[in-house]
Structures are given as C-alpha cells and as structure tokens.
Amino acid sequence: MSRAMQCQGCLPWGSWARLPRSLAGTRGTRSVSVCAAAVPAGGAGRSFLRRILGTSSISLPRGCVRYQGGSQESSAQPSPSRHGQSQLRSVAFSGAIKKHQKSLSAWFSHQPNEERQFGPSFSLDAVHVDPVIRESSLEEILKPSPDLTIQNQLQQPSRKVISLHSLFDVDACGRQVKNVVLYGTVGTGKSTLIKKMVVDWCHGRLPHFQLVIPFSCEDLSHSHAHVSLRRLVTKKYQHLRDVVPVLEASNLSVLFILNGLERLNLDFRLAGTELCCDPNEPVPPSAIVVNLLRKYLLPEASIIVTTRPSAVRRIPGKYVGRYAEICGFSDTNLQKLYFQMRLSQPGCSGEESQDRRSAEQENLVEMLSRNLERHNQITAACFLPSYCWLVCTTLHFLYFTRTVPPSQTLTGIYTSFLRLNFSGEVLDSTDPTHISMMKYVAKTVGKLAYEGVMSRKTCFSEEDLRQCFEVEMKTESELNLLEVFRSDVFRFFLSPCVQLGKEHTFVFTIPAMQEYLAALYVVLGEKKTLVQRVGKELSEVLGKVSEDVAVVLNIISKVLPLRFLPVLFNLLKIFPRYFSRVGGKDRDTIAHTMAEELFKEEDYYNDDVLDQINSSILGVEGPMRHPDEAPDDEVFELFPIFMGGILSRRNRAILEQLGCSIKNLAAFEIAKAMKKTVIRKGRRGLPPSELMDYLFFLHEFQNERFTAEAILSLRAVNLSSVKMTPLKCSVLASVMSTTCHEVEELNLTSCNLDSGSLRTLFPVLLRCKALHLQLNSLGSDACKEIRDLLLHDKCAVSSLRLANNPVGEQGARYLAEALAGNRSLTQLSLLHTSLGDPGAEAIAQHLAQNQHLQELNLGYNSLTDAAALRVVEVAKRHETLDKVHLYFNDISEDGKRALDSLRMDRDGVRALVFLTAGTDISDYWSHILNVVQRNLPFWDRERVRQHLTLLLQDLESSRSQTANPWRKAKFLRVESEVKKMLGKLQDGSL
C-alpha cells in the first residue's frame, strides 16, 4: 500500500485545514481481476442511465470494479421461492427479462467519442480494475477529520473493506440489509461501479437478483407530473410491461438502482410526502423514491442509491441498512494495473510494426510505474480513477498521434475530461440559483489557480484558500454552496502536498489543471476591474430602463411634441452603449494577458510544454533532486496555450454544456485584439523550444485564418534540438499547412527525425528553400522519402544538409536518383554519412544528369583515391558544380596531387581536400577547421585526432617547401590552430 496515497472523503464543515478522514487502506482479502477501466465517471457515468431513460447521450464512465472476492460465500441473500422460480420458467415471463437484459447490455456497450479517439474500444466485461470500497456510517460521514496530512491520516483506524457482492449481506446485528447508500466524491467511480453491476447482471454474473431496474435521479427530477411506479418502469423499459403487474405478487428478487440522488429533493416527513403502497397509484416521482426507501412500497425490493457526500443526509439513517464509500485506487498497485492494461491494448500506437509498438508500450508502462513508486504527486492524483484516465489519454495524445484526429488538442482533452466528470451538473439542487458545478469551479478554484499562476506558485496555504473561497461569502446561500463544494468537489481539484516540508499545503491534483482553470477563469471574464464589473451591471440595468422609458417618451412626444423630449430620449440611448463599451474592455485585457504570457521572457530556454507534460507524467529519468536543493522556478507556459484552446469552437461548445458560456462575438473580439501583438512578437527570433510552444498555441487555437496570418510572417523556422515526436511533427505540419508561402529556412538539426517524421512533414518540406536535417537518424528508408521530396514537381529545396546521418550505400543510391531528376537543389551536404566508395560511385553516376547543383560535400565518408577522383572528374564536366568537399577522407598523397591538378582550371572544379594547396594555404582552411570543431561532439575522436595529425604533417611539409616568408607565416598560423585543437582534443576540453 502506498504510504503517500490514502482515500479522502468529504471536506468537513470546519476550517480548510481539515480534509476528510482517510479511509486508511489495507490490501484486504479481495481478489483483483486483471482488467482495466476506460473512461472517467461523474457526469458521464450518470449519463448512461439518462440515455436509457431517454435523455442525454451515453458516456462510458471510468471503471473501477470487478466483483470478485470478499465474502461471497457468506451472502445471506434469500434464494427465490419455488413460486418465483416457476414463474420464471414461463416463456413469456423469462423472455421479457431476457429482452430487458439484452436491451440494457446494448445500451451499456456504447463507447463515448472521447474514448474512441484514444485507442480501441473497451468492454466492461473484458477490462476492469477493482476500486477500494469501505463500509462506513452516518456518524463517520459527518465527523470532521482532525488533520489534513496524509501521513497523519495513515494513523486513523482502518475501516472494513467490502466487495459489491457483500453490500446486501446481513449487518452486524444480523438484520438483512435492503437499502444501501453508496457515496463518494466526484471522480471516485460511483457511476462506473453501478454500470459494471448492471452489465454483470445482464450476463448472469449477479445471481442474487432476478430483476434489476436502474433509474437516473436526474431524469426523475425533470419530471413533475404524477406517475405510478408501474407506469414509470414500463415507460422506460417496455419489455417489462408483463412483469411489473406481478412484482408484488411474485417473490422475485428485485434490485432498484437510483443513480445520483443529489439531483432529487426528497422529503421524508409524512406531511411532505404521503404514504403510498400501491404501484398503480400516480404520485410525484420523488414520492415513489421516498416510499421505496421507506419500504412502504415494494418492501421486499432491494435498493442501492449512489450520491455525493453532501446529499447522504437527505435519507434518514433509519431507512439505510448500510453506508459504503467508494474510494477509488487508494492502492498504488491498482493504479499500476490500470496503466498496464490501459496502455498495453493492441492498436494504441498506430500502424507500426508489432515489435516496435510493444517495446514502446512496455517502456511507457515501465517509466510510469517507476514514477508512481516514488510516491510523488502523480501517485496522489491517480487515487482518483478519473485522473488515471486523463493520464492515459494524455500519453495516447503524446505518443500515439497517428490514431488521433487532426483537430484533437490538449485543451480538448482537458475540456472533455471535465465534461465526462461534471456533465452540466448543478452544484446544489436545493439552491434556487442552480449554478452549474463547473461554473462555480471556474469562479472559485479558477481564481485560486490564476493568482497562483500570476505569483508563480503551486502550493497554497489555508489562508490562500480562505481568501479565494470565503472572502466574498455574505449570504446563507453562498455559504451552503461552499459547504457542498467542500464535501463533494474540493478533493477532485486540490489535494494535500506530499512533498516533505509542505505537508500542510495544498496543490492541484494534476499540475496542468491549475493552468487550465486559470485560463478558463480569464477567458470567462471573471477577472474584471471594478469599473468593468460595475459598467456591465449598469449597462444591463440602464438598457432595460431606457427601453421602458423610451416607450413612454415616444407616446408622450406624439401628444406633446416638446423639444427636450428627443434630447432626453437620445441621452438614455447613449448611457447603455457607453457602459457596454467600458464593460467590453475586459476582452482587450484577455487578449493582452494571453499575448504577454505567451511571450514571457523569463520562460525562455525551458523545455517546450509537450516535454514538460511528458516529464510530469513519466517523471524525470536520472538522479532525483536533493530535498535541500532549491527548486527551479515554476513554469506556466500551458496557461496562455489553454487560453487559446478554450476559445476554439469545439471547446466553447463543450463548455456551454457545462454552464460556462463564451459567446462567438467575445471569441472574435479577443482574437482580433490579440492578433497584432501575437504576429508582431512572433516575428522576432524565438528560441527553438519557445517557437515550438508558439506553434502549439496556434494549433490549440484552431483558428485557420488567425494562424495563416501569424505563419505568413514566419520565414525562418528554427527547431534545432527540439525532440520532434510524431505529435510535434503533426502540429508543425498542421500549422504550416494553413498557408502556401515559401519558407526561407527550416532547421530540424538534432530533432530525432525518422522516415515517419519526414512523411508527416512532407507538405512543409516541399516549400522550404534551406533544409537542415543534420544529426538525425535518417537511414536508407528516410532517404527514400527525401528522394520523393526532391523529385516532386513543386519542390523548392535549394540547400539540403544531411550531415551526420547514417545514409549508407543504399541511401546514397536513393539520393543519386533524386539528383538526376531534381531541378531546385544547389547545395547538398553529405558530410559524415557513411557513404563509402560505393555510395560515392552511385552519386557520380547520376551527377552528370543534374544541371543545377553548385556545391557537394562528401567529407568524412571513408572515400579512397579512386572514388574521390571519379567524383571530381564528373564534377569537372558539370555545368554548374564548382566546389566539392573531400576532406577527412582516406586520400593518399598521390591522390591529393592528382586532385590538385584538377582544381582551379577555368573549366575545372575546386576540390576541398586538405588545408594546403600546393605550396600555399587553402582559401578554405578556416572553413574546414570550423566544420571539424562543430561536428567533433558527434565524430569518432580518435579518427579525428589521426586526421588532424595528418593535416599537421602536411602543413609542416608544405611550409618547408616554400621560401616565401609571407606564406611561411600563414603556414605557422594555421599550424598553431591545428595544434591547439589537437591539444584540446587530447585533454578532453574540446
């Protein structure tokens, strides 16, 4: 059991220093099935019931349960009577239940779009992981915790771990349990547990009950007409129309499932809800629920209710046989099992070879497992199964881009994640304002997140929380909403810090969530000045007043056409417009904040945001930071990117469903206000990692017109040393494809490119004049892609650098074919590409067919005299080629002299072989030494030392052959440079 992970319940009524009691876990005696869950729960989990009942779309919740182990053998559930069994044998009766099972199973097999985008579909029958479920009591639910720290909570007495099959066992007093309340905070897996229960029953794995009837309390809350229980059941489940009339008479074991009780306002007082024992009597839906729980209606039926902690008290304790809390993955081993099964599904990583795909998946799981073992903050976050889903989905996005639609963005993942968990839920159904849960989170938690981003901090004290949440609490209604938020939602976003020395502070459960909520807080316009806030309110008030007064004045003016009436009328029209102008300035503020944060100087030279996200999930490989060592400054580069992503049309549509409305006009005006600033600042030279962030921002923004104008001014793209994963290549290709302009230079040096990367970037590479592909892993397969690129009729590449790539002989053949048909290339560098004599010969054979090449670099390729001479002879007859680099090859003195005889003739070619040219210094000596110095970290140092020694001997020999003192001085100068380089090479300082 992880010492850093303990289950948290609801936030108590007291101070912010008190988190709910830990349900300190033991591994217990449960058996864990080797399965994995698929999608978060919360709102999505409830939506599957709403879909069955005719509302909302289905969303598969995150999973948590496998019903095995526990105390199955001790179950005291009564077996059906002979009478009930005989009825089940009738064809009509059993057929109706089978149709009911088939119908439920069909509905529950649907997968949400969010799940289908990130790998194969998941079945609850095949892949699932147990959560931790613990028996509780009403006293423990309401009792505040003495301390917030996880370490102190470990000392709390452990409660009994139970299985789902044991929920209806007899209680401690030997009484048969009929009503069970299953509660848990947002994200712990209530809805998934219920869904798995229904699926198991459909497939005969829940034999205690002969009939299961699920209901969504949200759906019941929308129905105000009186209806009987019989009509309510048959309306939603038509297959049961022959079964319902005999429910009371037959001794069927029936289970009613009431999902999301917090949506219903129940009144158990007799004065509020009358008694009803007749299934055919029409009453309000809430009265049916109350009488079922009272056991006045169908007293033999079993009932399981799911709810958030704040609504547990709505059912009097005397009507509850057992309280059970679902606690998510409080055991780190459950988290590891989930990740192993979720990330090892076939087809997750696209159309690659099976061996490569398996190796990559295993490596991901291993890195994630090691990070979890460190008991850091991600371990605490993955206590919630919904966050496990978010981690897996993000890894799919980062690594398996080939299966992700082009429009998928990181902001979209986080927005969909919130919709899956909240799905437009209201915070408190008893509150008259009916504020959506997500809107409340954006206003409160978003404010805390924003202030943290602005002050560059991720840890928050009790005082920080109090100032953000309680400073403006003035009414009873506001305090009630705060208490509901504390008990139900707080733990979803904020958790105790596990870092030593910071145990009494809070951090965001997932670091990126702080930046997302801060961005949402800003974009929703919650960050307003006093003038803007007052201006908006006055504008609305005066606008309404002016409309009413205008009607009166128009009538009066027709009777008494006085001169002052039109003037007064126009004044009333001016005021709303004026205040609306003042209130609208917050859109300029949003645009300014977005642009300033995107180009913040202090964030320069950090890893790009995609690498930061990757390291936050998989951890940093290598030695861990010492606890006493000062931490790096917090980087919040996702903040402006999320602001842009939230403004995209798709994310605005999802946020609208969550009660967070962003109008089209507001998004248009924000984009218009920030356009000039972003384009102006984007033109300046950004460091490669910051330029990648800029491109990622434009991709997240999902505004093609805006992106096209921003990219049009970007003539040089330098992404050297940025690890270009498939996702980053997709982002670069997507952003650059919004225009068709030529790019002067694209620098992808040392970017871990391969043939797949080149295929993704093909449309971009076509438009680049200077293309730098040095220091990548481009072998013969990649050269085949480059051949197709150079032979394309729209290819604009004039300079291609492939130095320090394993091109080899076969790759050289592909490039030679490209040279024969290309019409744009003027410079080609194949320095240190392992060509050998066969590769050079292949290039020489096709070189004559080329008519545009001006410079060819074949240095450091182990060429011998024959191959070098063959290349230079062909080059000498070439119409435009005048420079061939052949230094650092295995060319003898005789070969050097033969090459020297071919140089600098009027119809000849300049062959750069050594630092000398006869009895003089080569004009290119500094160029050769600079090339050596730049590439030394990537070359074989011993071989470079041998070549430098030969160059030094050649310099000394040529110096002794000249009597010109000026030339001797030049020789001595170059010799000193070579000796200095040799000295640094030997002592390791170069």
pLDDT class for 446, splitting at 50, 70, 90? very high
Contact indicator for 794, 762 with CB cutoff of 8 Å: no
989: tokens are: 């300082």
pLDDT for residue 203:
86
Alpha carbons 642 and 59: distance in angstroms, whole number: 24
Phi and psi angles of residue 912, each rounded to the nearest 5 degrees, phi first: -90, 100
Contact indicator for 634, 733 with CB cutoff of 8 Å: no
Contacts (Cβ under 8 Å, ≥6 apart) of 519: 639, 640, 642, 643, 645, 646
Alpha carbons 158 and 23: distance in angstroms, whole number: 6
pLDDT class for 552, splitting at 50, 70, 90? low
Reduce the DSSP state of residue 140 to 3 states and report it.
helix
Residue position matching structure tokens 């019903």 = 67
Alpha carbons 252 and 301: distance in angstroms, whole number: 8
774: tokens are: 């040095």
pLDDT for residue 530:
41
pLDDT for residue 571:
54
Helices and strands counted in the chain (H then E)? 39, 18
Contact indicator for 706, 676 with CB cutoff of 8 Å: no
pLDDT class for 496, splitting at 50, 70, 90? confident
154: tokens are: 């470990």
Q: What is the mean pLDDT of residues 266-287?
A: 92
Give the Cα-Cα-Cα angle 268, 272, 274 (nearest 5 degrees).
85
Q: Half-sphere exposure of residue 741, counting CA atoms within 13 Å on the CB side? A: 17
Percent share of the chain, pLDDT over 70: 74
Alpha carbons 437 and 493: distance in angstroms, whole number: 13
Alpha carbons 451 and 512: distance in angstroms, whole number: 15
Partners of 495 in the beta sheet? 507
593: tokens are: 């904040």
- Cβ atoms within 10 Å of 223's Cβ, excluding its own: 14
User: pLDDT (tens digit, 9 = 90+) per residue, 55-99?
Assistant: 333 333 333 333 333 333 333 444 444 444 454 446 567 888 899
pLDDT value at 38 more than 70: no
DSSP string, 364-400: HHHHHHHHHHTT-HHHHHTTSHHHHHHHHHHHHHHH-
Mean pLDDT for the chain? Answer: 78
pLDDT for residue 294:
95
Please list, residue by residue across 524-560, b when 16 or more beta carbons sit within 10 angstroms of its beta carbon and e when fewer do. bbbbeeeebeebbebbeebbeebeeeeeebeeeeeee
Alpha carbons 452 and 521: distance in angstroms, whole number: 12
Among the residue ranges 303-317, 462-476, 819-833, 933-947, the one predicted with the least confidence is: 933-947
pLDDT for residue 141:
82
User: pLDDT (tens digit, 9 = 90+) per residue, 454-471?
Assistant: 988 889 988 888 888 876
Alpha carbons 770 and 765: distance in angstroms, whole number: 9
pLDDT value at 902 more than 90: no
Q: What is the mean pLDDT of residues 215-235?
A: 91
pLDDT for residue 332:
81
Q: What is the mean pLDDT of residues 696-722?
A: 91
Q: What is the mean pLDDT of residues 166-183?
A: 90
Contact indicator for 508, 449 with CB cutoff of 8 Å: yes
CA of 190: how far to CAs of 6, 29, 557, in Å?
Answer: 18, 21, 65
Phi and psi angles of residue 753, each rounded to the nearest 5 degrees, phi first: -80, 155
Smallest CA-to-CA distance from 860 within 912, 785, 923, 908 is with 912
Partners of 883 in the beta sheet? 855, 910
pLDDT class for 26, splitting at 50, 70, 90? very low
Among the residue ranges 159-163, 374-378, 556-560, 708-712, the one predicted with the least confidence is: 556-560
Among the residue ranges 470-479, 670-679, 738-747, 773-782, the one predicted with the least confidence is: 470-479
CA of 788: how far to CAs of 758, 781, 814, in Å?
Answer: 11, 11, 9
Among the residue ranges 61-65, 248-252, 511-515, 742-746, the one predicted with the least confidence is: 61-65
Partners of 259 in the beta sheet? 216, 306
pLDDT value at 551 more than 80: no
Q: What is the mean pLDDT of residues 123-127?
A: 61
Alpha carbons 205 and 968: distance in angstroms, whole number: 95
Max CA separation in the chain (angstroms): 124
pLDDT value at 255 more than 90: yes
What long-range pairs does 721-725 form, CB within 8 A, spacing at least 24?
Answer: 721/688, 721/749, 721/750, 721/751, 722/608, 722/688, 722/689, 722/692, 722/751, 723/611, 723/751, 723/752, 724/748, 724/751, 724/752, 724/753, 724/757, 725/398, 725/399, 725/401, 725/610, 725/752
Terminal C-alpha separation, the chain: 50
Among the residue ranges 244-248, 519-523, 530-534, the one predicted with the least confidence is: 530-534
